[in-house]
Structure 1
Amino acid sequence: YRYVNRAHADLYGFDDPEALVGKDWRTLYGESEVERFESEVMPVLREAGEWRGEATGRRKDGREFAQELSLSLTDGGIVCVVRDVTERRERRKRLERYETAMQNIHDGVYTLDAEGRITWINETAIEAFDSGYEREDLVGSFVTKILDDEDVEKCLSLIQELLREDPHGSRWCEIAIQTAYGDEIRCELNLSLRPFEDGEFRGTVGVVRDISGRKRREQQLSVLNRVLRHNLRNELNVIEGNAERLATELDDEHARQARLISKASEQIIDIAETARRIEAVLDRDDATTSVDVAAVVEERCADLRDAHPDATITVETPSERRAIADESLGEAVERLVETAIGNPGAEPVATVTVREADDRMEIRVADGGTGLPRSEIEVLFEDRETPLRHGKGLDMWFVKWLVDSYGGELDFERETPEGSVVVVRLRPASVAG
C-alpha cells in the first residue's frame, strides 16, 4: 500500500491509515482469496485495465466480510475502492433460501415490485393454475394483466392498510385471476409486504390458492339448501294444516294419529327454521361488540316466562356485566332455556346465572333435571354428525357455532347440585382483542 484513506482503514479495523502503508495487500485476504486474485482477477486487470466484482476481505481481528471491490490499473499502480456489502449478501442469501422454499410449497407464490410488476413466480403458480400463460408471459408484466380493476383496488387497499398498521403482517382476500382464455379462476390471496430496503417500499409477496372448486361446491350447496328448505317448509305446512283438520274431523284413534303427524310436521318446520338462522349467523359480518349480558338474560327470560307460564325460570345476575358478543346472544340464551325446560320426564325448571369466573363472563343454564343425553353432548365436541348419534334438532349446534364466532366456548357440567348445566364462556369486554 502506498496510500490509504481513513474510510479504507476503518473498513479493515485499523485506527490509523498509516498502519497499512507499506503492507502487502495479501495480508487483508485469506489464502484461497489471494489465489483467486492472482489466477483470475489480476490477468483480467492487466488486460482490460480494470476489474469489478465481489470478494471476501479479512479485518485486523481476523473477521471476514463481504466486499464489493473496484480495481483500476494506472501508471502509478492499482487504485482500489472497497465497499462493505455484507448486509446485501446476507439479504441475497435469505432471498435465495426463501425462493427455494417457495418453489417447493403447494400454493402459487409471486412477488411484485413497488410499481406492481410481477418480478418472480414459482412453478406451482404456472403448473397448477391453468391460466394460459407461461412464466415469460407474466414476469415483467404489470399485475393488471391477470387482475381486473376491482381486485387491483382491493389489493391496493390491503397494501395501504399493511403499510399503515402492520408492515410485518399479512391480509387475506378473495380475487379472480383473469386467464388468457377469457375466463377466471377464483383464488384466496394471502398478501404481505416485501422486506423494506433503506426504508423504501419494495413491493409485495402473494400466496395464492385455487378455491374455484370450493366456491362451486358452496354455490351448489347453497342452491340445494334454499330449494330444499323452501320446498320442505311449504310441503310440511300443507301436511300440518291437513293433519290438524283431520284431527278435528276423525274419531279418537285417528284423531290422535293426525295430531302426531301435525306435531312431527311442526318439529321439522322448526328444524328448517333453525337451519335458516344458523346459515344467517354463519354468513353475517364479524361485527362483535360490547354487550350487557345481564340485561340480555333478564330480557329474554322475561319473554320466556310469558311464553311458558307453566315453567319456573329463575335468573341470578348482577346489575350489569359486559362481554364480547352481538345481538344474536339473546337467541342463544332463549334456545338454551327452552332446551332446559323442555327435557322430557322432568319438571320445566331452568336457572340462569351470569357471573365472572377465571377472566371470563359465564352464562350458566341449569335444568334441575337429567339434562341432555351424553350422546347429545359428545357429538357437539366431535364437530360432526354420525348416522347413529345425532342431536335432536339443531339448537345446540346453533349455540355452539355462535359462541365460537364470539371467541368464546361452550361447556357442559353434568350431575351437579343444580342438575345438568350448560355453560357459555365469553370474553369480557374490558379484555377483548
Structure 2
Amino acid sequence: MSWFVSSFLAIGLWCLTYGAGLLVDSYPLRMSLEAVGLIAAVWTGPLFLMFTLEYTGRTATTRSWQAGVIMAPAAAISGLILAPQYHSLLWSGVRPAPVFGLSVPTYTIGPLLYLITVFVLVCTGVGALLLVETVLNYGPLYRTEAAAVALSTLPPAAGALPWLFNVGPAPQLNLAPLLFLGHIALDGYAFVGSNMFETNPTTERAAERSAVEDLGSPTFVLDTADRVVTVNDAAADVFCLDRETVLGSRLSALVDVDLTDGADRQIVSVTTDSRDRQFSVVTSPLTDPADRRVGRTVVFQEITREREREQRLDVLNRVIRHNLRNEMTVIMGHADLVSRRSDDEEIDASAETIKASGERLLATGEKAREFERLRGREPRSDPVDVVELVDALTTEIDIEFPNATVEADLPSTPTIVETDPQVLSLVVSSLLENALAHNETDDPRAVAAVASAADGIELTISDNGPGIEADELAPIRKGEETSLEHSTGIGLWIVSWGVSMLGGEIDFETDGDGTAVSVRLT
C-alpha cells in the first residue's frame, strides 16, 4: 500500500508543479518548477512498478537487488536534473510561447528528456501488464477492474506524446499532468471502488507456493512436455534428487512412472533407508484462466502402511475363514455323532445347540466371504427391478425358515433402480435373515416392503422380534467399534457396508415390539 501512495504522491507533485508553473511569468522560476516536476515524473514509473510487484505477490523482488536496478535510473536521472550544468541535456533554446493566456515555454527537447519519457512509460506499462495478468487470473469477477487498470495508462501517455514529438495545435503544452485525472479516476475505481485490495493476489501466490512446498507428499509440477518445472522438498528427499539439477528433466527419466493419459492407477515402489515404500501416483491437469492445459501436477501419495495393513487383513481373513470352516465342520460332525449315539435327552439338546451355533458361524463366514468377494471387484451399476429381486429373496428366505412367516408388500408394477444387483441382494438377504434368526417369538414374522421415495426408492424390512439392543446399533451408526461399544455379529456391518457401497442411506427404528430397517436408494 505504501508504494501505491508514494506513486500517487509523485503524480500529485508533478501535476502541482506543472500547474503552478503555468501561472508563473518569471522563466527562471518557471523552469525550476519544470525541473521539480520532471523529478516527480521520473519517480511515478518505478514507484508504480514497485507497487504492482508487491501487490501481485512478487514481494521478494521489491526487497532484492532487482529493486535497486529499478530505482537506480530514477535516482541517477533526478541527480542530473538537480544539477543546472546538465540542463542542456533536458532542453535548449527556451523561449516563451503562451497558450490560452498561460505561461508556457517552448524548447528543443534534449536526449535526457526523451530518456525520462521512455523510462516512465516502460515502468508504467510493465506494471499495468503485471496487474492485468494477475487480475485476470481471478476469472471474470475482476475483468472490469483489469480493463480499468490497463486503460489508466493511456490518458497521460496520450497527453505526453504530442508534446514529446511536437505535434498538434499546441505542442508546447504538455497535457499529461491534466490527463492524469483520468488515470487517477480509473485506478481509483479499480483499487478503491472495487474490492481488489481485499483480495490481494499475494495471498494466492503464497498459497500456491506453500501448497506445493508444504505438502508432505512428494510432488512434481510438469510442463506440457512433462519436464520438471517445480519439485518440493519431500520429492527431493524421497527420490534423492537435487532440486536445481532436475529442473527441465523429464519425470520419466527420474522416476519409473507411466504418465500416458488414461494409464491405470499406478503403484511406485521406492527403496529408502533400506526399506521398501509404496506410493500411489495421482496426476492432475494444470490449466490457465482460458482453460488451456499448461502442464500437470504429479503427486506421490504414500500407501505403505495401508498396503501392509491390507495384506495382513487379507491373510487373517483367509486363515480365519479357512480354519473356521474346517474346525466348525469337525465340531458339527462330532455333535451330530454324539446326538445319534446318545439316548440322553439333555445331551441331545446340547448337541443340537452346538450344531445350531456351528451353522450360524458357518453362515456368518460365508456372508463375510461373499461380501469380501463383492468388495474386491469393480462396482457395477445395472438397471435392477427391485420388486422382482425382493420377491425372489423373500421366497428363498421363506423356504430357509419354514417355521417363520415371510411376506412381501410390493407394488404391482416394476420399480427400476440403477445399482449393483449382487450387493443389493446381499443387503436384502442379510436383513431378512437377521430379522428371523434372532426372532424368538412364537410366530416369527418378517415383511419386505418397497415404496417410491424422493429421487429413488425406499426398501423396508420389518419384523416382530425383540428389537435390536442399543449397544448393537451404536457402533453401526458411528461407523466404528471401540472396546466399550462393539457389535456381537457381522450381519449388521455387512448391511451397513453394502448400503454404503450402493451410495444409499440406512435407518434403524427399533423397540421391544420389533425392528424396521429402511434403505433408501437413488
Q: TM-score with structure 2 length normalisation?
A: 0.61
CA contact (8 A) 2:382 2:421 kept: no
CA contact (8 A) 2:468 2:511 kept: no
Aligned partners of 1:99 and 1:196: how far apart in 2?
16
CA contact (8 A) 1:294 1:317 kept: yes
CA contact (8 A) 1:290 1:324 kept: yes
User: Partner of 1:364 in structure 2?
Assistant: 460
User: Partner of 2:246 in structure 1?
Assistant: 138
CA contact (8 A) 1:403 1:410 kept: yes
More strand by share: 1
CA contact (8 A) 1:132 1:181 kept: no
User: Partner of 2:352 in structure 1?
Assistant: 259
Aligned partners of 2:309 and 2:272: how far apart in 1?
24
Answering whether residue 509 of structure 2 is matched by residue 413 of structure 1, we say yes
Aligned partners of 2:229 and 2:393: how far apart in 1?
58
Pair 421,32 (structure 1): closer, same or farther in 2 beyond 3 Å = same
CA contact (8 A) 2:462 2:516 kept: yes
Query: What SS does structure 1 have at the residue aligned with 2:293?
Result: coil
- C-alpha RMSD over aligned residues: 3.6
User: Partner of 1:313 in structure 2?
Assistant: 406
User: Partner of 2:227 in structure 1?
Assistant: 117
The 5 A counterparts of 1:284-295 are 284-295=377-388
CA contact (8 A) 1:194 1:205 kept: yes
Pair 75,381 (structure 1): closer, same or farther in 2 beyond 3 Å = closer
User: Partner of 1:8 in structure 2?
Assistant: none
Q: Which amino acid aligns with 2:298?
A: G
What CA deviation, in whole Å up to 9, does each residue of 1:144-183 have, x standing for no partner? Answer: 134436x333xx226xxxxxxxxxxxxx944315568998
CA contact (8 A) 1:111 1:120 kept: yes
Structure 2 alignment gaps of length 5 or more:
1-33, 51-67, 78-109, 138-200
Answering whether residue 44 of structure 2 is matched by residue 30 of structure 1, we say yes
Answering whether residue 518 of structure 2 is matched by residue 423 of structure 1, we say yes
CA contact (8 A) 1:146 1:177 kept: no
CA contact (8 A) 2:46 2:71 kept: no
Larger Rg: 2
Pair 421,39 (structure 1): closer, same or farther in 2 beyond 3 Å = closer
Query: What SS does structure 1 have at the residue aligned with 2:318?
Result: helix
User: Partner of 2:440 in structure 1?
Assistant: 345
Alignment equivalent of 1:87, drawn from 117, 132, 154:
132
Aligned partners of 1:394 and 1:141: how far apart in 2?
52
Aligned partners of 1:74 and 1:27: how far apart in 2?
16
The 5 A counterparts of 1:137-176 are 138-148=246-256, 151-153=258-260, 156-157=261-262, 173-176=265-268
Aligned partners of 1:39 and 1:392: how far apart in 2?
77
Aligned partners of 1:289 and 1:306: how far apart in 2?
28
User: Partner of 1:56 in structure 2?
Assistant: none
Aligned partners of 1:44 and 1:290: how far apart in 2?
79
Answering whether residue 479 of structure 2 is matched by residue 383 of structure 1, we say yes
CA contact (8 A) 1:290 1:322 kept: yes
Aligned partners of 1:199 and 1:336: how far apart in 2?
49
Pair 193,180 (structure 1): closer, same or farther in 2 beyond 3 Å = same
User: Partner of 1:215 in structure 2?
Assistant: 307
Question: How far is 1:40 from its partner?
Answer: 1.1
Answering whether residue 326 of structure 2 is matched by residue 234 of structure 1, we say yes
Question: How far is 1:76 from its partner?
Answer: 9.8
Question: How far is 1:203 from its partner?
Answer: 0.8
Aligned partners of 1:41 and 1:179: how far apart in 2?
55
Pair 284,212 (structure 1): closer, same or farther in 2 beyond 3 Å = same
Aligned partners of 1:25 and 1:364: how far apart in 2?
84
User: Partner of 1:299 in structure 2?
Assistant: 392
Identity %: 26
Aligned partners of 1:37 and 1:106: how far apart in 2?
37
User: Partner of 2:85 in structure 1?
Assistant: none
Question: How far is 1:25 from its partner?
Answer: 9.8
What CA deviation, in whole Å up to 9, does each residue of 1:52-92 have, x standing for no partner? Answer: xxxxxxxxxxxxxxxxxxxxx97994484645332345669
CA contact (8 A) 1:288 1:324 kept: yes
Query: What SS does structure 1 have at the residue aligned with 2:241?
Result: coil
Aligned partners of 1:367 and 1:273: how far apart in 2?
24
What CA deviation, in whole Å up to 9, does each residue of 1:83-141 have, x standing for no partner? Answer: 533234566954454013322233332201111112111123334x3x33332453332
Q: Which amino acid aligns with 1:265?
A: G
Pair 39,205 (structure 1): closer, same or farther in 2 beyond 3 Å = closer
CA contact (8 A) 1:133 1:179 kept: no
Question: How far is 1:27 from its partner?
Answer: 4.8
More helix by share: 2
Aligned partners of 2:70 and 2:376: how far apart in 1?
71
Q: Which amino acid aligns with 2:383?
A: S
Aligned partners of 2:520 and 2:323: how far apart in 1?
37
What CA deviation, in whole Å up to 9, does each residue of 1:310-359 have, x standing for no partner? Answer: 32222111122222321221222122112222333322211111112344
User: Partner of 1:402 in structure 2?
Assistant: 498
Aligned partners of 1:341 and 1:415: how far apart in 2?
16
For these two proteins, the number of residue pairs brought into alignment is: 361
Question: How far is 1:204 from its partner?
Answer: 0.5
Pair 113,39 (structure 1): closer, same or farther in 2 beyond 3 Å = closer
User: Partner of 1:245 in structure 2?
Assistant: 337
Aligned partners of 1:137 and 1:182: how far apart in 2?
25
Pair 141,31 (structure 1): closer, same or farther in 2 beyond 3 Å = closer
